[in-house]
Protein backbone atom coordinates (compact mmCIF):
# COMPACT_ATOMS: atom_id res chain seq x y z
CA UNK A 1 0.00 0.00 0.00
CA UNK A 2 1.35 3.49 -0.88
CA UNK A 3 1.92 5.98 1.93
CA UNK A 4 -1.34 7.03 3.56
CA UNK A 5 -0.91 10.81 3.16
CA UNK A 6 -0.98 10.71 -0.64
CA UNK A 7 -3.67 8.10 -1.01
CA UNK A 8 -6.04 9.56 1.52
CA UNK A 9 -5.82 13.20 0.59
CA UNK A 10 -7.97 12.83 -2.51
CA UNK A 11 -10.84 11.47 -0.41
CA UNK A 12 -12.27 14.17 1.83
CA UNK A 13 -15.03 13.39 4.31
CA UNK A 14 -15.48 16.91 5.72
CA UNK A 15 -13.73 20.08 4.53
CA UNK A 16 -14.06 23.84 4.90
CA UNK A 17 -13.67 25.17 1.37
CA UNK A 18 -14.17 28.79 0.24
CA UNK A 19 -16.37 29.59 3.22
CA UNK A 20 -18.53 26.52 2.77
CA UNK A 21 -18.76 23.15 4.43
CA UNK A 22 -18.10 20.46 1.84
CA UNK A 23 -18.96 16.84 2.57
CA UNK A 24 -18.90 13.64 0.59
CA UNK A 25 -22.56 12.52 0.47
CA UNK A 26 -22.27 9.03 1.94
CA UNK A 27 -25.89 8.11 1.19
CA UNK A 28 -24.88 7.87 -2.50
CA UNK A 29 -21.88 5.56 -2.04
CA UNK A 30 -20.76 3.25 -3.51
CA UNK A 31 -22.68 4.10 -6.70
CA UNK A 32 -21.72 7.75 -6.83
CA UNK A 33 -18.93 9.87 -5.32
CA UNK A 34 -20.54 13.30 -5.02
CA UNK A 35 -19.45 16.21 -2.87
CA UNK A 36 -22.09 18.65 -1.65
CA UNK A 37 -21.70 22.10 -0.11
CA UNK A 38 -23.71 22.94 2.98
CA UNK A 39 -24.49 26.62 3.49
CA UNK A 40 -27.17 26.72 6.19
CA UNK A 41 -27.74 25.23 9.65
CA UNK A 42 -30.83 23.48 8.25
CA UNK A 43 -28.66 21.76 5.64
CA UNK A 44 -26.06 20.76 8.22
CA UNK A 45 -28.70 19.26 10.52
CA UNK A 46 -30.35 17.46 7.61
CA UNK A 47 -27.03 16.05 6.39
CA UNK A 48 -26.19 14.73 9.85
CA UNK A 49 -29.67 13.26 10.45
CA UNK A 50 -29.81 11.62 7.02
CA UNK A 51 -26.27 10.20 7.44
CA UNK A 52 -24.93 12.07 4.41
CA UNK A 53 -22.09 12.66 6.85
CA UNK A 54 -21.81 10.06 9.62
CA UNK A 55 -19.45 8.44 12.06
CA UNK A 56 -18.81 10.04 15.45
CA UNK A 57 -15.68 12.12 14.70
CA UNK A 58 -16.92 13.14 11.23
CA UNK A 59 -20.21 14.50 12.55
CA UNK A 60 -18.21 16.30 15.24
CA UNK A 61 -16.19 18.03 12.51
CA UNK A 62 -19.28 18.81 10.41
CA UNK A 63 -21.04 20.16 13.50
CA UNK A 64 -18.05 22.35 14.36
CA UNK A 65 -18.06 23.98 10.91
CA UNK A 66 -21.85 24.18 11.15
CA UNK A 67 -21.33 26.69 13.96
CA UNK A 68 -19.40 28.96 11.58
CA UNK A 69 -22.18 28.57 9.03
CA UNK A 70 -24.68 29.66 11.69
CA UNK A 71 -22.72 32.90 12.16
CA UNK A 72 -22.47 33.46 8.41
CA UNK A 73 -26.21 32.95 8.02
CA UNK A 74 -27.26 35.19 10.89
CA UNK A 75 -24.63 37.95 10.37
CA UNK A 76 -24.67 39.17 13.99
CA UNK A 77 -23.58 42.81 14.51
CA UNK A 78 -22.10 42.44 17.99
CA UNK A 79 -20.24 39.83 20.03
CA UNK A 80 -23.29 39.42 22.27
CA UNK A 81 -25.50 38.70 19.27
CA UNK A 82 -22.92 36.25 17.94
CA UNK A 83 -22.87 34.39 21.27
CA UNK A 84 -26.67 34.06 21.08
CA UNK A 85 -26.41 32.68 17.52
CA UNK A 86 -23.82 30.15 18.69
CA UNK A 87 -25.95 29.05 21.65
CA UNK A 88 -28.96 28.43 19.39
CA UNK A 89 -26.87 26.63 16.78
CA UNK A 90 -25.17 24.45 19.41
CA UNK A 91 -28.58 23.32 20.61
CA UNK A 92 -29.88 22.57 17.10
CA UNK A 93 -26.78 20.93 15.66
CA UNK A 94 -25.65 19.25 18.87
CA UNK A 95 -28.90 17.32 19.22
CA UNK A 96 -29.20 16.24 15.57
CA UNK A 97 -27.97 12.78 16.63
CA UNK A 98 -27.90 12.01 20.33
CA UNK A 99 -25.62 8.99 20.83
CA UNK A 100 -22.28 10.08 19.36
CA UNK A 101 -20.81 12.35 22.03
CA UNK A 102 -18.36 13.89 19.54
CA UNK A 103 -21.16 16.00 18.08
CA UNK A 104 -22.26 17.81 21.24
CA UNK A 105 -18.64 17.91 22.44
CA UNK A 106 -17.50 19.65 19.22
CA UNK A 107 -20.25 22.29 19.06
CA UNK A 108 -19.82 23.11 22.74
CA UNK A 109 -16.06 23.37 22.29
CA UNK A 110 -16.48 25.79 19.36
CA UNK A 111 -19.05 27.79 21.30
CA UNK A 112 -16.81 28.14 24.35
CA UNK A 113 -13.71 29.06 22.33
CA UNK A 114 -15.56 31.63 20.21
CA UNK A 115 -17.53 33.21 23.05
CA UNK A 116 -14.52 35.13 24.38
CA UNK A 117 -14.26 37.14 21.15
CA UNK A 118 -14.81 40.87 21.68
CA UNK A 119 -16.50 41.56 18.33
CA UNK A 120 -18.73 39.55 15.99
CA UNK A 121 -15.81 39.22 13.57
CA UNK A 122 -13.53 37.91 16.30
CA UNK A 123 -16.15 35.43 17.46
CA UNK A 124 -16.37 34.07 13.91
CA UNK A 125 -12.58 33.91 13.51
CA UNK A 126 -12.28 32.03 16.80
CA UNK A 127 -15.10 29.64 15.86
CA UNK A 128 -13.41 28.78 12.56
CA UNK A 129 -9.99 28.35 14.22
CA UNK A 130 -11.50 25.99 16.79
CA UNK A 131 -13.26 23.91 14.12
CA UNK A 132 -9.98 23.68 12.20
CA UNK A 133 -8.24 22.58 15.42
CA UNK A 134 -10.83 19.83 15.99
CA UNK A 135 -10.17 18.52 12.48
CA UNK A 136 -6.37 18.63 12.90
CA UNK A 137 -6.56 16.92 16.29
CA UNK A 138 -8.77 14.13 15.02
CA UNK A 139 -6.45 13.56 12.11
CA UNK A 140 -3.49 13.23 14.48
CA UNK A 141 -5.54 11.05 16.86
CA UNK A 142 -6.41 8.66 14.04
CA UNK A 143 -2.74 8.35 13.07
CA UNK A 144 -1.77 7.59 16.68
CA UNK A 145 -4.65 5.12 17.11
CA UNK A 146 -3.42 3.39 13.96
CA UNK A 147 0.11 3.12 15.33
CA UNK A 148 -0.96 1.81 18.75
CA UNK A 149 -3.42 -0.60 17.19
CA UNK A 150 -0.90 -1.91 14.68
CA UNK A 151 1.55 -2.61 17.54
CA UNK A 152 -1.14 -4.29 19.62
CA UNK A 153 -2.38 -6.45 16.75
CA UNK A 154 1.00 -7.13 15.15
CA UNK A 155 0.34 -10.88 14.98
CA UNK A 156 -3.37 -10.68 14.18
CA UNK A 157 -4.09 -10.31 10.51
CA UNK A 158 -7.71 -11.36 9.93
CA UNK A 159 -9.88 -8.68 11.47
CA UNK A 160 -13.65 -8.41 11.85
CA UNK A 161 -15.02 -4.88 12.09
CA UNK A 162 -18.55 -3.48 12.14
CA UNK A 163 -20.27 -0.55 10.45
CA UNK A 164 -17.70 1.94 9.14
CA UNK A 165 -15.05 3.41 11.41
CA UNK A 166 -12.70 4.49 8.66
CA UNK A 167 -11.70 7.47 6.56
CA UNK A 168 -15.39 8.11 5.88
CA UNK A 169 -16.30 8.21 9.57
CA UNK A 170 -13.52 10.46 10.84
CA UNK A 171 -11.44 13.50 9.93
CA UNK A 172 -8.37 11.31 9.48
CA UNK A 173 -7.57 7.75 8.40
CA UNK A 174 -10.15 6.20 10.70
CA UNK A 175 -10.16 4.49 14.07
CA UNK A 176 -10.84 0.76 13.62
CA UNK A 177 -9.84 1.06 9.97
CA UNK A 178 -6.98 3.36 10.96
CA UNK A 179 -5.51 0.28 12.64
CA UNK A 180 -6.03 -1.65 9.41
CA UNK A 181 -4.36 1.06 7.30
CA UNK A 182 -1.45 1.33 9.72
CA UNK A 183 -0.89 -2.42 9.52
CA UNK A 184 -1.02 -2.26 5.73
CA UNK A 185 1.33 0.74 5.60
CA UNK A 186 3.80 -1.16 7.83
CA UNK A 187 3.80 -3.97 5.27
CA UNK A 188 1.99 -6.41 7.54
CA UNK A 189 -0.61 -8.74 6.08
CA UNK A 190 -4.16 -7.67 6.88
CA UNK A 191 -7.61 -8.61 5.64
CA UNK A 192 -10.98 -7.43 6.86
CA UNK A 193 -14.39 -9.02 7.33
CA UNK A 194 -17.06 -6.34 7.06
CA UNK A 195 -20.57 -7.21 8.25
CA UNK A 196 -23.03 -5.41 6.00
CA UNK A 197 -24.54 -3.46 8.95
CA UNK A 198 -28.28 -3.42 8.62
CA UNK A 199 -30.33 -1.41 8.01
CA UNK A 200 -28.25 1.31 6.28
CA UNK A 201 -25.43 -0.95 5.12
CA UNK A 202 -22.46 1.14 6.22
CA UNK A 203 -20.30 -2.02 6.22
CA UNK A 204 -21.33 -3.22 2.78
CA UNK A 205 -21.49 0.18 1.12
CA UNK A 206 -18.81 2.20 2.90
CA UNK A 207 -16.25 -0.04 4.60
CA UNK A 208 -16.01 -2.29 1.54
CA UNK A 209 -15.76 0.77 -0.73
CA UNK A 210 -12.99 2.53 1.15
CA UNK A 211 -10.96 -0.62 1.85
CA UNK A 212 -11.13 -1.56 -1.85
CA UNK A 213 -10.11 1.97 -2.79
CA UNK A 214 -7.07 1.75 -0.55
CA UNK A 215 -6.13 -1.78 -1.61
CA UNK A 216 -7.00 -3.76 1.52
CA UNK A 217 -8.64 -7.18 0.97
CA UNK A 218 -12.20 -7.17 2.32
CA UNK A 219 -15.09 -9.67 2.46
CA UNK A 220 -18.63 -8.54 3.20
CA UNK A 221 -20.92 -10.84 5.19
CA UNK A 222 -24.46 -10.61 6.51
CA UNK A 223 -24.49 -9.39 10.12
CA UNK A 224 -26.11 -12.67 11.08
CA UNK A 225 -23.10 -14.66 9.77
CA UNK A 226 -20.57 -13.03 12.11
CA UNK A 227 -21.09 -15.40 15.05
CA UNK A 228 -20.50 -18.41 12.84
CA UNK A 229 -17.43 -16.79 11.28
CA UNK A 230 -15.98 -16.08 14.73
CA UNK A 231 -16.70 -19.62 15.90
CA UNK A 232 -14.98 -21.02 12.79
CA UNK A 233 -11.55 -19.69 13.84
CA UNK A 234 -11.15 -17.49 10.76
CA UNK A 235 -10.91 -14.20 12.70
CA UNK A 236 -7.86 -13.18 14.77
CA UNK A 237 -9.42 -10.11 16.40
CA UNK A 238 -12.47 -7.87 16.30
CA UNK A 239 -11.82 -4.11 15.98
CA UNK A 240 -14.72 -1.67 16.00
CA UNK A 241 -15.20 2.05 16.55
CA UNK A 242 -17.37 3.79 19.14
CA UNK A 243 -19.94 6.54 19.40
CA UNK A 244 -19.64 7.07 23.14
CA UNK A 245 -17.57 5.39 25.82
CA UNK A 246 -18.90 5.77 29.35
CA UNK A 247 -16.77 6.36 32.45
CA UNK A 248 -16.71 2.63 33.24
CA UNK A 249 -15.64 1.61 29.71
CA UNK A 250 -19.05 0.53 28.39
CA UNK A 251 -19.13 1.21 24.65
CA UNK A 252 -22.01 2.45 22.51
CA UNK A 253 -21.48 1.61 18.85
CA UNK A 254 -23.53 0.66 15.79
CA UNK A 255 -26.32 -1.83 16.44
CA UNK A 256 -24.92 -5.34 16.14
CA UNK A 257 -21.61 -4.59 17.88
CA UNK A 258 -22.76 -6.14 21.17
CA UNK A 259 -23.64 -9.37 19.37
CA UNK A 260 -20.16 -9.54 17.84
CA UNK A 261 -18.61 -9.01 21.29
CA UNK A 262 -20.64 -11.85 22.79
CA UNK A 263 -19.76 -14.17 19.92
CA UNK A 264 -16.08 -13.15 20.10
CA UNK A 265 -15.98 -13.93 23.85
CA UNK A 266 -17.56 -17.33 23.18
CA UNK A 267 -14.96 -18.03 20.50
CA UNK A 268 -12.00 -16.71 22.53
CA UNK A 269 -11.31 -13.94 19.98
CA UNK A 270 -10.08 -10.61 21.42
CA UNK A 271 -12.48 -7.69 21.01
CA UNK A 272 -10.98 -4.20 20.66
CA UNK A 273 -12.59 -0.79 20.45
CA UNK A 274 -10.60 1.96 18.71
CA UNK A 275 -11.66 5.52 19.54
CA UNK A 276 -10.20 8.98 20.16
CA UNK A 277 -10.53 10.62 23.57
CA UNK A 278 -13.21 12.90 22.05
CA UNK A 279 -15.49 9.83 22.05
CA UNK A 280 -15.10 9.27 25.79
CA UNK A 281 -17.78 10.71 28.03
CA UNK A 282 -16.53 10.68 31.62
CA UNK A 283 -19.76 12.42 32.70
CA UNK A 284 -21.84 9.36 31.78
CA UNK A 285 -21.17 6.73 34.44
CA UNK A 286 -22.14 3.62 32.46
CA UNK A 287 -23.78 2.35 29.31
CA UNK A 288 -27.29 2.30 30.80
CA UNK A 289 -27.18 6.11 30.87
CA UNK A 290 -26.25 6.49 27.19
CA UNK A 291 -29.13 7.75 25.08
CA UNK A 292 -29.65 5.36 22.18
CA UNK A 293 -30.88 6.97 18.98
CA UNK A 294 -34.07 5.40 17.64
CA UNK A 295 -34.44 5.79 13.90
CA UNK A 296 -37.36 5.95 11.54
CA UNK A 297 -39.30 2.75 10.84
CA UNK A 298 -38.99 3.25 7.09
CA UNK A 299 -35.30 2.27 7.32
CA UNK A 300 -36.51 -1.23 8.21
CA UNK A 301 -39.72 -1.32 6.21
CA UNK A 302 -37.91 -0.52 2.96
CA UNK A 303 -34.60 -1.37 1.35
CA UNK A 304 -33.93 1.20 -1.36
CA UNK A 305 -37.17 1.52 -3.30
CA UNK A 306 -38.55 -1.86 -2.27
CA UNK A 307 -40.75 -2.74 0.71
CA UNK A 308 -39.20 -5.38 2.98
CA UNK A 309 -42.13 -5.79 5.40
CA UNK A 310 -45.91 -5.61 5.23
CA UNK A 311 -46.90 -1.93 5.25
CA UNK A 312 -47.01 -0.26 8.66
CA UNK A 313 -45.71 -3.31 10.57
CA UNK A 314 -44.39 -2.34 14.02
CA UNK A 315 -40.64 -1.73 14.00
CA UNK A 316 -37.94 -1.37 16.66
CA UNK A 317 -34.96 0.40 15.11
CA UNK A 318 -32.22 1.37 17.60
CA UNK A 319 -29.19 2.76 15.78
CA UNK A 320 -26.71 1.68 18.46
CA UNK A 321 -26.20 -0.86 21.23
CA UNK A 322 -23.98 -0.96 24.29
CA UNK A 323 -21.19 -3.48 24.75
CA UNK A 324 -20.42 -3.95 28.45
CA UNK A 325 -16.81 -3.21 29.33
CA UNK A 326 -16.24 -6.78 30.56
CA UNK A 327 -16.31 -7.90 26.94
CA UNK A 328 -13.73 -5.38 25.78
CA UNK A 329 -10.13 -6.63 25.58
CA UNK A 330 -8.71 -3.14 25.10
CA UNK A 331 -9.61 0.42 24.20
CA UNK A 332 -7.18 1.64 21.54
CA UNK A 333 -6.80 5.42 21.89
CA UNK A 334 -4.34 8.03 20.68
CA UNK A 335 -2.55 7.84 24.04
CA UNK A 336 -2.19 4.07 24.05
CA UNK A 337 -4.24 0.96 24.74
CA UNK A 338 -6.37 1.03 27.89
CA UNK A 339 -7.14 -2.30 29.50
CA UNK A 340 -8.04 -3.85 32.83
CA UNK A 341 -9.74 -1.41 35.17
CA UNK A 342 -11.33 0.95 32.68
CA UNK A 343 -12.96 3.12 35.35
CA UNK A 344 -9.58 3.89 36.82
CA UNK A 345 -7.83 4.32 33.47
CA UNK A 346 -10.53 6.68 32.18
CA UNK A 347 -10.67 8.64 35.43
CA UNK A 348 -6.90 9.11 35.28
CA UNK A 349 -7.05 10.25 31.67
CA UNK A 350 -9.69 12.83 32.45
CA UNK A 351 -8.15 13.60 35.85
CA UNK A 352 -11.17 12.64 37.87
CA UNK A 353 -11.23 10.81 41.16
CA UNK A 354 -12.91 7.43 41.37
CA UNK A 355 -13.71 5.69 44.59
CA UNK A 356 -12.31 2.19 44.61
CA UNK A 357 -12.90 -0.47 47.18
CA UNK A 358 -10.52 0.03 50.11
CA UNK A 359 -9.50 3.51 48.95
CA UNK A 360 -10.55 6.87 50.22
CA UNK A 361 -12.47 8.92 47.62
O1 LIG B 1 -24.89 5.58 12.30
P2 LIG B 1 -23.44 5.78 11.95
O3 LIG B 1 -23.09 5.29 10.60
O4 LIG B 1 -23.00 7.20 12.18
O5 LIG B 1 -22.64 4.88 13.00
C6 LIG B 1 -21.25 4.94 13.00
C7 LIG B 1 -20.63 4.00 13.96
O8 LIG B 1 -21.28 3.30 14.69
C9 LIG B 1 -19.13 4.05 14.05
O10 LIG B 1 -18.63 2.81 14.42
C11 LIG B 1 -18.72 5.09 15.11
O12 LIG B 1 -19.34 6.31 14.88
C13 LIG B 1 -17.26 5.27 15.12
S14 LIG B 1 -16.65 6.09 13.69
C15 LIG B 1 -14.98 6.23 13.89
Range of the domain at 100: 4-139
Ligand 1 pocket residue status of 175, Cβ below 6 Å: yes
In-domain check, residue 359: no
pLDDT band at 7 (very low <50, low <70, confident <90, very high): low
pLDDT of 31 reads: 97
pLDDT of 232 reads: 98
pLDDT of 304 reads: 81
Ligand 1 pocket residue status of 319, Cβ below 6 Å: yes
Cα separations (Å) of 356 from 71, 239, 329?
46, 29, 21
Do 83 and 154 lie in a common domain? no
Answer yes or no: is pLDDT of 335 > 80: yes
pLDDT of 2 reads: 46
CB 239 within 8 A of CB 272: yes
What's 92's domain CATH number? 1.20.120.420
Do 164 and 86 lie in a common domain? no
CB 253 within 8 A of CB 243: yes
Answer yes or no: is pLDDT of 336 > 60: yes
pLDDT tens readout for residues 65-119: 999 999 999 999 999 999 999 999 999 999 999 999 999 999 999 999 999 999 9
Ligand 1 pocket residue status of 101, Cβ below 6 Å: no
Ligand 1 pocket residue status of 256, Cβ below 6 Å: no
Please state, in angstroms and rounded to a whole number, the distance separating the CA atoms of residues 355 and 252: 24
Which of 134, 122, 165, 137 has the alpha carbon at shortest distance from 65? 134
pLDDT tens readout for residues 308-327: 999 999 999 999 999 999 99
In-domain check, residue 165: yes
Angle between helices 79-94 and 56-74 (to 10 degrees): 140
Mutate to test the pocket of ligand 1, among 253, 299, 319, 332 (most ligand atoms within 8 A of CB): 253
pLDDT tens readout for residues 199-221: 999 999 999 999 999 999 999 99
Active site residues: 243
Domain final residue pick, 83, 111, 139: 139
Count how many domains the chain has: 2
Ligand 1 pocket residue status of 90, Cβ below 6 Å: no
Do 320 and 334 lie in a common domain? yes
Mutate to test the pocket of ligand 1, among 56, 63, 105 (most ligand atoms within 8 A of CB): 56
Please state, in angstroms and rounded to a whole number, the distance separating the CA atoms of residues 176 and 153: 12
pLDDT tens readout for residues 32-46: 999 999 999 999 999
Amino acid sequence: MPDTETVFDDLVTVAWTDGRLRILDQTLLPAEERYVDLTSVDEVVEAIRRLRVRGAPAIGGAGAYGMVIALDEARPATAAEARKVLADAAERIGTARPTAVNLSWAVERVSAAAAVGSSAAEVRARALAEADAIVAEDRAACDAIGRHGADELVDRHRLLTHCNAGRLATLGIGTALGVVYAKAAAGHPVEVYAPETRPLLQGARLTAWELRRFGVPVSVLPDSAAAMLLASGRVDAVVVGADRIAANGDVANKIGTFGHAVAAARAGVPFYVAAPLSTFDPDTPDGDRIEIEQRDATEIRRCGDRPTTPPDVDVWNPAFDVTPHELVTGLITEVGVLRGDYSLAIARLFERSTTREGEAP
